[in-house]
């Protein structure tokens, strides 16, 4: 096993890409070997040092070029380009950490298919704390029956494009599975006007968008005479970046397959 793991970062000029580069200094065994930005990025052709880490890696918009020397690739791009990135990694036989959210069902199926050829860690949130929240959500939803109503609240910055967040939907999937129901059939995403009484066993979602909120998530169980809240608040993006880098390290020499952050963290 090599002492260093060659790494490529896709979406390097975005918020998460910059956080990844800045966090790499704490992961000396991960060595940047490729960096991808969009075709209209002002960072194209520049050294990645401009975004946070000293290296001889030139930022490119060509995914084949970006991954050609990588053993593990971290993708924080957009759902519409994820499949092209996955195909490039399959051709390179490089493992992937996919932190991009908002994929369609068809895109997720294609990613699952690719995991038969390469190892992929895909999670709605890479944060260690959030993944612990997922585990606590499972425990709570298993212990509390539908006398306890479930509500999921999330808040993000004004520029986030998908809603509810992938993390909020992930929490919803966890609690629905723990109760043995379908999230699709039990989720309430909108409330307006005369909605009538709350339906027993349903899972409500609330979304806020504004300012530069990095990410807040709260899971509420409201029962007779009491309520339980499990919350996670991100102070900055370093927690997500560090989790993705931990996943990249964990993927070294892993067999092909689809993995989650729960697998990475042994939860």
- In sequence order, which residues have a C-beta less than 8 Å from that of residue 81 and are 6 or more positions away? none
- Per DSSP, the three-state class of 123 is coil
Q: What is the pLDDT of residues 29-54, one digit of tens each?
A: 999 999 999 999 888 888 877 776 65
Q: What is the pLDDT of residues 219-242, one digit of tens each?
A: 999 999 999 999 999 998 899 999
Compute the distance between CA of residue 127 and CA of residue 89 in angstroms, rounded to an integer.
23
* Whether pLDDT at 212 is above 70: yes
Catalogue the active-site residues. Answer: 156, 160
With contact defined as beta carbons under 8 Å apart, do 12 and 43 qualify?
Answer: yes
Q: Which domains does the chain have, with CATH numbers?
A: 5-126+237-265 (3.40.50.720), 128-233 (3.30.360.10)
- In sequence order, which residues have a C-beta less than 8 Å from that of residue 125 and are 6 or more positions away? 131, 166, 167, 170, 215, 240, 243, 261
Q: Show the tokens assigned to 117.
A: 């050829």
Q: How many CB atoms lie within 10 A of CB 177?
A: 14
Q: What is the pLDDT of residues 94-151, one digit of tens each?
A: 999 999 988 999 999 999 999 999 999 998 889 999 999 999 999 999 999 999 999 9
> What sign results for the dihedral spanned by CA atoms 131, 88, 39, 249?
positive
Q: What pLDDT score was predicted for residue 1?
A: 43
Q: What is the pLDDT of residues 148-198, one digit of tens each?
A: 999 999 999 999 988 999 899 999 999 999 999 999 999 999 999 999 999
Region of residue 172 (phi > 0: left; psi between -120 and 50: alpha; otherwise: beta): alpha
- In sequence order, which residues have a C-beta less than 8 Å from that of residue 143 and are 6 or more positions away? none
Q: Show the tokens assigned to 75.
A: 């993708």
Label the pairing between strands 95-98 and 119-122.
Answer: parallel
């Amino acid at each position: 096993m090599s002492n260093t793991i060659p790494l490529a970062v896709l979406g390097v000029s975005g918020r998460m890409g910059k956080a990844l580069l800045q966090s790499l200094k704490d992961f000396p065994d991960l060595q940047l070997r490729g960096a991808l930005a969009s075709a209209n990025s002002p960072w194209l052709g520049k050294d990645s040092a401009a975004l946070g880490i000293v290296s001889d890696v030139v930022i490119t918009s060509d995914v084949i070029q970006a991954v050609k020397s990588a053993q593990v690739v971290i993708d924080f791009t957009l759902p519409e380009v994820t499949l092209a990135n996955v195909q490039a990694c399959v051709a390179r036989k490089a493992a992937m950490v996919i932190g991009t959210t908002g994929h369609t069902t068809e895109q997720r199926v294609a990613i699952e298919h690719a995991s038969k050829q390469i190892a992929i860690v895909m999670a709605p949130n890479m944060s260690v704390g959030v993944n612990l929240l997922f585990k606590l959500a499972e425990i709570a939803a298993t212990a509390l029956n539908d006398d306890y109503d479930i509500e999921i609240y999330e808040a993000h910055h004004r520029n986030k494009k998908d809603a509810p967040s992938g993390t909020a939907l992930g929490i919803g999937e966890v609690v629905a599975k723990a109760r043995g129901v379908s999230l699709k059939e039990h989720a309430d995403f909108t409330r307006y006007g005369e909605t009538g009484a709350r339906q027993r066993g349903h899972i409500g979602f609330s979304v806020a968008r504004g300012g530069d909120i990095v990410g807040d998530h709260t899971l509420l169980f409201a029962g007779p005479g009491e309520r339980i809240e499990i919350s996670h608040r991100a102070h900055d993006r370093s927690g997500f970046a560090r989790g993705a880098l931990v996943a990249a390290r964990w993927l070294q020499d892993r067999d092909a397959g689809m993995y989650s952050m729960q697998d990475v963290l042994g939860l």
